A and B are shown apart, each in its own frame.
Chain A
Amino acid sequence: GAVVSQHPSWVICKSGTSVKIECRSLDFQATTMFWYRQFPKQSLMLMATSNEGSKATYEQGVEKDKFLINHASLTLSTLTVTSAHPEDSSFYICSASGREGREQYFGPGTRLTVT
């Protein structure tokens, strides 16, 4: 149980375009979803926390207008990178927690390359 999927697993886009990444909890209801960013050989950095039906809470230094997060249902959250630039190239990982909230279940990640 507690499976989280991400789509796509990798994406290449041109500078200036937008790209959407989906995060789904497959077998449980995710009251909270988290989005992380990981640069090569670095740790995971929390970007934002989203609760179903409410606006996402962004960590300090994360541009909310650039990284749009929507948590429309208890099983789906999306991250849209708007007007992507090469410096946005990174590994994006989502995670989800259920009502108990003690544990986070991680998706497999999405590798974004902006050319």
Chain B
Amino acid sequence: AQKITQTQPGMFVQEKEAVTLDCTYDTSDQSYGLFWYKQPSSGEMIFLIYQGSYDEQNATEGRYSLNFQKARKSANLVISASQLGDSAMYFCALRYNFNKFYFGSGTKLNVKP
């Protein structure tokens, strides 16, 4: 069975500081993918970053980076230089069985001015 765990229901960060959102996963698949999505109050799911299970380098996309530790089965999202617009729900997702997604419970991030 697939499992994604986000242990931080809510996080606060000061504007311009970095923040790490935790995500651990469990899967029996050898080939899988890990995604992070941002969901603002409008409800749309905004793709942030992707890490493949065979990728040796940690993924980076602008201010977003993914700290992938395969042996520990963790895929933490790091947001550098937080902005007020970063306040939203953040979901970690595991792609398994070729194209199915399983989502974590989410972390609500609040950026304080």
Contacts and interface: CB of A to CB of B under 8 A. Distances in A.
Interface stretch (B60-68, B75-83, B103-111): B103-111
Contacts of A105: 47
A109 B101 contact: no
A111 B33 CA distance: 29
A46 interface: yes
A111 B95 contact: no
A97 B101 CA distance: 11
A101 B99 contact: yes
Contacts of B50: 103
Contacts of A34: 100-101
Given A97-B99, A103-B50, A104-B101, A109 B43 contact: yes
Given A43-B105, A43-B106, A44-B91, A106 B100 contact: no
A102 B43 CA distance: 22
Q: Which of B47, B98, B99, B102 has the most CB of A within 10 A?
A: B99
Contacts of A108: 42-44
